[in-house]
Amino acid sequence: MIIVLKTGTTEPQLEAFSERLTEKYNVQVNVWRGTQSTVLGLLGDTHTIDIEAIQANEIVESVKRVQEPYKKANRAFHPNDTVISVGGARLGGGSLQLIAGPCSVESAEQIIGIAKRVKQSGATFLRGGAFKPRTSPYSFQGLRAEGIELLLEAKKETGLPIVTEIMSTSHLDLFEEVDVIQIGARNMQNFELLKEVGKLDKPVLLKRGLANTIEETLMSAEYIMASGNEKVILCERGIRTFETYTRNTLDISAVPIFKKLSHLPVVVDPSHASGISWLIEPLSLAALAAGADGLIIEVHNDPPHALSDGAQSITPDRFDQLAKKLFSVERALRG
């Protein structure tokens, strides 16, 4: 339930009203303070609440029931865009952020070399997989703990915050110094994992599952937020369709839909969406035009010899050209 308060409501009035709501109806009250209005989001069993009784209160402007099953992720609860600050970078709220790096961390030279190059091109985050979710158990599984150490070394060298995937709650200790934890597509509905990352004070990049709807993705974000962590970044990375030309199908409409339904930052991954390196540029441009707050792009110094996802990886030179084009389009689009 959403309660919009009248302009001019004082802080003591707001506090007294919130306390009464909590006591009487046993609900949690989330307060969002905007420049124009203050919005209260009520969480819990709100069925017994009499809307007319609430409406009768002198500080109440309007009351509305939220139909959607996701509440904290809902834009109705938080009308302004959420902006997540990591290091110097700010995700959400309009500016384009580039997250770049290899699919897998392979060696110190590889990850530090790529980190330096993508930083020069304007990337503000370094990605790299240490724990890899591979379809085959015989494929490279990632350098695991050593991979995280190498990412931290690359961070020390470049200052870039790091984004890397967690696959199991038993690895949480290893992620203490990681800046942004990625929940991969295959784990989008691993609810125990979502609850655990929800207890951290660390941004979580949540990838849409291979066969999950927009609403299911928002419900997974809600799991993380309901556990206390509101720093969630949504990621559209392509979904399974009948098309076989591309690895997945980029659902570009998910970008404006996520932005409409939710206040959370939205990032697009053209690499896993397409599986083909020449498609990275057109899909990145489309994502920017559709309103994405960021792009997560696989960049490798030697794609033909990459230990994973070489076919969809672009070289640092191509990333540099792409970044230049994206930033100039961003200026044209957003001023």
CB 291 to ligand PEP: min, Å: 20
CB 278 to Mn ion: min, Å: 17
Instruction: Pick the closer one to ligand PEP by CB: 74 or 212.
Output: 212
309 sits near Mn ion (criterion: CB under 5 A):
yes
Please, what's the largest Cα pairwise distance for the chain?
Answer: 68
CB atoms < 10 A from the CB of 125, how many?
A: 26
49 sits near Mn ion (criterion: CB under 5 A):
no
Task: Tell me the number of residues near ligand PEP by CB under 6 A.
Answer: 10
Residue 202, binding choice from ligand PEP, Mn ion, none, Cβ under 5 to 8 Å by partner class: none
Q: Which of 41, 92, 142, 184 binds ligand PEP (CB under 6 A)?
A: 184
- CA-CA distances (angstroms) from residue 211 to 220, 223, 240, 241, 282? 13, 18, 6, 9, 23
Q: Which of 78, 259, 263, 272 binds ligand PEP (CB under 6 A)?
A: 272
Q: Which stretch binds Mn ion (CB under 5 A): 112-120, 135-143, 152-160, 304-312?
A: 304-312
Q: Which stretch binds ligand PEP (CB under 6 A): 13-21, 30-38, 75-83, 178-186?
A: 178-186
CB 239 to ligand PEP: min, Å: 10
Instruction: Pick the closer one to Mn ion by CB: 48 or 136.
Output: 136
Q: What angle do CA 212, 79, 290 make, to 5 degrees?
A: 50
From the number of C-beta atoms within 10 Å of its C-beta (0-12, 13-18, 19+), residue 110 rates as: buried
Binding mask 94-123 for ligand PEP (x = CB under 6 A): ---------x--------------------
Q: Which of 69, 68, 53, 147 is nearest to 108 (CA)?
A: 147
The phi and psi torsions of 237 (rounded to 5 degrees) equal -130, 20
207 sits near ligand PEP (criterion: CB under 6 A):
yes
Retrieve residue 192's tokens. 């125990």
Give all strands (DSSP E) within the chain, no chain letters.
2-5, 28-33, 38-43, 60-64, 84-86, 89-91, 97-101, 125-127, 162-166, 180-183, 204-207, 232-236, 266-268, 294-298
Q: Which stretch binds ligand PEP (CB under 6 A): 2-10, 90-98, 111-119, 180-188?
A: 180-188
Retrieve residue 141's tokens. 């599984």
The answer to whether 205 and 185 have CB atoms below 8 angstroms apart is no
**Binding footprint of ligand PEP on the chain (CB under 6 A):** 103, 129, 133, 184-186, 207, 237, 269, 272
